[in-house]
Amino acid sequence: MKPTTALSRNPGQDRQASLISSAASLFAAKGFKGTTTKAIARAAGVSEALVFKYFPTKRALYTAILAEKAPLSELLHAVEEVARKRDDQRVFTLIAGYRIRPGADPTMLRLLLFSALEGHELADMFFGKQHRVFYDYLAGYIRTRIEEGAFREIDPLLAARAFIGMVVHHRLLHEIFDVPLHCPHKEIVSTYVQLFLNGLRHPPTPKKRRLSRVR
């Protein structure tokens, strides 16, 4: 089956994509309580009835937004490939590089903040289908590397949360508070990864000093 592209999509798929984009943008700007289906339809340039045709329930719309705005399968697949090779540097670089990639759409992050503050079901959906899956995978990888002796003894889940937390904080600073970047993206990712891995790995064994013999 060929992947759907901008050239191969039919009008119905285009309308559906437009509704998802419009809904996500409005939710991210006004919150869930401040956004109506009428507003979504108006932003997408369609009738409200058409919104319900493509998304009969709000949950269906939220699920579509997550699938469109927060795809996880491609990243997990790429991470799994390098994880099998035990390439720690590459594993964490892929994760950090994807999460704080240049030009990332801040819509999803704003959307999640609104959903958490409003106690909206999208927050639970995202955490259950996205974050929990990723936290569990990353914690499992760290646990394996601990058992293999590559990393020091530490709580794997706390370590996974610490790494993701560092990356999310970076996104908050630059996507929400608009703090300017002071160095190139690759350097930022490399610094975060190196700092984190230095904390996970065993400290180097100090070399014994050779005492010179006094004659």
* SS3 of the chain: CCCCCCCCCCHHHHHHHHHHHHHHHHHHHHCCCCCCHHHHHHHHCCCHHHHHHHCCCHHHHHHHHHHHHCCCHHHHHHHHHHHCCCCHHHHHHHHHHHHCCCCCCCHHHHHHHHHHHCCCHHHHHHHHHHHHHHHHHHHHHHHHHHHCCCECCCCHHHHHHHHHHHHHHHHHHHHHCCCCCCCCHHHHHHHHHHHHHHHHECCCCCCCCCCCCCC
Distance from C-alpha of 202 to C-alpha of 102, rounded to nearest angstrom? 32
- pTM, to two decimals: 0.79
pLDDT of 96:
92
- The segments of the chain whose pLDDT lies below 70 read 1-9, 129, 207-215
The CA distance from 47 to 92, in Å, is 45
The whole-number pLDDT of residue 211 equals 52
User: In which residue are the tokens 């119905």 written?
Assistant: 12
User: What is the token pair recorded at 48?
Assistant: 């409200």
| 118 alpha-carbon distance from chain centroid | 21
- Residue 7 pLDDT: 47
pLDDT number for residue 210 = 57
Q: How far apart are CA 38 and CA 35, in angstroms?
A: 8
Query: What tens digit of pLDDT does each residue of 4-54 get?
Result: 444 455 778 899 999 999 999 999 999 888 899 999 999 999 999 999 999
